[in-house]
Amino acid sequence: MQISKRIGSMGEPALLKYYPLVDEAKKKGKKFYYLNIGQPDIETPQEFMSTVRNQGAAGKVLSYAEPEGVPELRTEASKYFRQFGLDYSPEEILITNGGSEALLFTFLTIGNPGDEILTPEPLYSIYKEIAKASSLEMKGIMTYAKDGFSLPSEEEIEKLITPKTKALLITNPNNPTGKVYDRDEIERLKRIALKYDLYFIADEVYRDFMYDGLEYVSPGQDPELKQNTIIVDSVSKRYSACGARIGFIMSDNDEFIYEIRKLCQMRLAVSSVDQMAAAKLFKLDTGFFDKILREYEGRRDTVYEKLGHRDDIIAKKPTGAFYYVLKLPVIDAEKFIRWMITEFGKDGESVVLTPANDFYLDPENGKDEVRLAYVLNQKDLARAADVLLAGIDEYKKEHPENIKEEFKK
């Protein structure tokens, strides 16, 4: 018997592979600061929790929900998104098992085996696996830490277009870089999408996490892109409800919505309990997120104050989401991460990071970079940053063979 090449080619997320090492170190009494995964620590709103409890106690049968999603959730979501200039009716919104299913269904609907999707690198690592499961190819638009991960010129992006290119895909704000694409960059991609008749997929699960008063710009706001745009969203990050697995697909393209609905029908339904609870989240006061945004902006600044001024680290201050991509003085970040877990300790403490080469299509890229998720409170983040810096300094002394020449002393 054999496993399909499609699934056999898929990888496992790097952010999880160090846990066996962590577990062994914890048995010896070491404490870790987990900066490797984007799990918000903000309390999930009680409106969600109480609805789950009430729904669970109501009636004797927990029935299937509608394949497209329960009407109340689609209606409340439609009202919510409209305040961002995303004018989608409930009929143009489909509910999915999280943003990942929304992306999987989108890839399966828009492309045939071998077709290509073009996206900025570094990219959300799960895109690679969703593409492999869909028999599609991801192609990268390379961006760089020294440039704040800004997009290259329109001409450079066009060079990557082939007859097999079916879509442009952005994560805005970006995971893993924290980059927010500005109006000029969105317009650049718009012109390319229209010129080559491409879908423009915008993964906007971090939409609310934008700092410094930046303007929110989405292809979903542009009337000229109505037929091209597909918006993917989720309640996971905004409402600290990752376990609810409630995602959204939105589009004005009637043919796309009609066809992708078949996949919703195939998997029957999303959890009816979670959908009803999620509908309550969209009824929260519009100021609900203000305090949370200030907290995350403070967390970002805490990390930058600690790391942003080191000569041996490139740590451009991100403007969205809750991640940094840090370029370290090391040659191979994976070796450094393992050493931090298994050998290093500052007063019995260390940190867990994610190697950033997992966020590139070619794992040889980003080998000297890590992703840091600032999802801890500011006191713990400050301590974690101090531990990380101490680790870098000690690693330079112990492992000069893994340090770039310009940073050796």
What's the rounded mean pLDDT across residues 359-388? 96
What is the phi-psi region of residue 69: left when phi exceeds 0, alpha when psi lies from -120 to 50, beta otherwise? left
Do 256 and 364 share a domain, yes or no?
no
Q: Provide the sign of the torsion angle of the four alpha carbons 137, 143, 148, 150, taken in this order.
A: negative
Buried b (16+ CB within 10 A) or exposed e, 74-98: bbbbbebbeeeebebebebbbbbbb
Could you give phi then psi for residue 111, rounded to 5 degrees? Answer: -130, 155
What's the rounded mean pLDDT across residues 339-362? 96
Do 70 and 123 share a domain, yes or no?
yes
The answer to whether residue 369 scores a pLDDT higher than 70 is yes
- pLDDT, position 409: 67
Last residue of a domain, one of 285, 302, 330: 285
Q: What is the CATH number of the domain that holds 386?
A: 3.90.1150.10
Q: What is the mean pLDDT of the chain?
A: 94
Encode pLDDT of 187-207 as tens digits. 999 999 999 999 999 999 999
Do 208 and 259 share a domain, yes or no?
yes
Specify the number of domains making up the chain. Answer: 2
Do 10 and 86 share a domain, yes or no?
no
Q: Which domain holds residue 38?
A: 5-43+289-396
Could you give phi then psi for residue 272, rounded to 5 degrees? Answer: -65, -35
Is residue 186 one of the residues assigned to a domain? yes
Encode pLDDT of 45-84 as tens digits. 898 888 888 865 556 778 889 999 999 999 999 999 999 9
Residue type, 377: N
Do 187 and 305 share a domain, yes or no?
no
Q: Which residues have C-beta within 8 Å of that of residue 103, sequence separation ≥ 6?
A: 126, 127, 130, 201, 203, 232
CA distance 227 to 8: 35
Last residue of a domain, one of 285, 317, 332: 285
Last residue of a domain, one of 267, 285, 303: 285
Please state the pTM of the whole predicted model.
0.94
Is residue 407 one of the residues assigned to a domain? no
Is residue 58 one of the residues assigned to a domain? no
Do 198 and 264 share a domain, yes or no?
yes
Is residue 277 one of the residues assigned to a domain? yes
Is residue 55 one of the residues assigned to a domain? no
Encode pLDDT of 269-279 as tens digits. 999 999 999 99
What percent of the chain has a predicted confidence (pLDDT) above 70? Answer: 98
CA distance 324 to 260: 34
Encode pLDDT of 202-247 as tens digits. 999 999 999 999 999 999 999 999 999 999 999 999 998 888 899 9
- pLDDT, position 51: 86
Is residue 49 one of the residues assigned to a domain? no
pLDDT band (50, 70, 90) for residue 91: very high
Encode pLDDT of 139-173 as tens digits. 999 999 889 999 999 999 999 999 999 999 999 99
- pLDDT, position 48: 86
- pLDDT, position 54: 81
- pLDDT, position 287: 83
- pLDDT, position 16: 72
pLDDT band (50, 70, 90) for residue 9: confident
Is residue 401 one of the residues assigned to a domain? no
Do 302 and 254 share a domain, yes or no?
no
DSSP state of 126: H
- pLDDT, position 78: 97
- Asked whether 72 and 236 are in contact (CB, 8 A), the reply is no
Q: Which residues have C-beta within 8 Å of that of residue 299, sequence separation ≥ 6?
A: 322, 374, 375, 376, 377, 378, 381
- Smallest CA-to-CA distance from 308 within 397, 178, 215, 151 is with 178
Do 218 and 311 share a domain, yes or no?
no
- pLDDT, position 39: 83
Is residue 353 one of the residues assigned to a domain? yes
Do 352 and 268 share a domain, yes or no?
no
Residue 393, classed as helix, strand or coil, is: helix
- pLDDT, position 7: 85
- pLDDT, position 57: 53
Encode pLDDT of 23-53 as tens digits. 999 999 999 999 998 888 888 889 888 888 8
Do 376 and 344 share a domain, yes or no?
yes
Q: What is the CATH number of the domain that holds 88?
A: 3.40.640.10
Encode pLDDT of 314-331 as tens digits. 999 999 999 999 999 999
Residue type, 95: I
Do 172 and 23 share a domain, yes or no?
no
Do 324 and 275 share a domain, yes or no?
no
